[in-house]
Amino acid sequence: MEDPDVPPQFRATNADYKDSGYDRGHLAPASHHKHSQEAMDQTFFLTNISPQVGTGFNRDYWARFEKFSRDLIDKWDDVYICTGPLWVPEKGEDGKYYVKYEVIGEPPKVSVPTHFFKVILATNQRNLEGSPKSDATHHIGAFILPNQRINSSVPLESFSVPLETVEDLSGLTFFNLLPRYSDSPATTSAVAVQSPKALVPQALCSSTECTLPPVNFWKVPKAKKELLLKEVDQFEQSGAEQKMLPCTLTAAERKLIHDAAEKKGLKHVTLEEKGKRCIQLAK
């Protein structure tokens, strides 16, 4: 939806995306903001949307990357994620560098990113069984992915880059209060700061297996899908104002419920209860 805080002449609209061939891709995913209806609604402002290639990227590889990022909270106390678009220069035949990208809309005003970045800071890894805990308290992962179809077999680590690469291309600095050392695999610049070794960021993928969830991880078996959709239908038709669904649902099943509730205009939020994620429906 349009963002009313943006002046109309600069504001993206749904019409800009019509017949463009691009998905309206979230930067901050709706699935990361299910703690309240207001937070989830705000993710649908077009200021949080960028044109993304659909098949092979937004609906596939990027969706798996978002799920990987979301699941990090099961292994770390705190996870901070920064996501944004990039327009990366390429070297031309004349040896000079150029930035070339498509612009959609009528009149054209929505620039199509050539790449997207995601910077992740995870702190205080939990000492899970079978997973050795790192001595460092802070781990950073920086990734740049091209806005194009990506083969599902390509490992996530192939898109890992030094944090400074994202900063140089985006014009932004990330987590600048953390010390950086030249021997830190998460960064490349040296900063003369006397800090405890535990505060020096280490590479996220050195302590966490950077393996994406399987292809089609969000699919729910047909019988289970019919059962869950029936439960949403029954709530919609009932006189009840609220309904708490079982806290044993998988991530794919929760997504199915959220999508079904959204289509019916029902309120739907994810609540944390004794370390488990539960969905509450409301009218």
Nearest to 265 by CA among 235, 220, 224: 235
Question: Which residues 6+ apart lie within 8 Å of 103 measured at CB?
Answer: 109, 110, 111, 112
> What is the three-class DSSP state of 115?
strand
For the four alpha carbons of 44, 40, 85 and 150, in that order, the dihedral sign comes to negative
Distances (CA, A) of 227 to 117, 174, 223, 256: 38, 44, 6, 11
The residue among 23, 30, 29 whose CA lies nearest residue 52 is 23
Catalytic choice (26, 138, 139, 268): 26
Q: Which residues contact 72 (CB under 8 A, 6 or more apart)?
A: 79, 120, 122, 208
DSSP codes of every residue in 176-207: TTS---TT-TT----------GGGS-EEHHHH
| Cα 111-70-154 angle, rounded to 5 deg | 65
Q: Is 26 a catalytic residue?
A: yes
Site of tokens 């612009």:
103
> 58 among the known binding-site residues?
yes
- Give the DSSP letter string of 78-100: EEEEEEEEE---EE-TTS-EE--
Q: Which residues are catalytic?
A: 26
Specify binding-site residues: 58
**Residues marked as binding for Mg(2+)?**
58
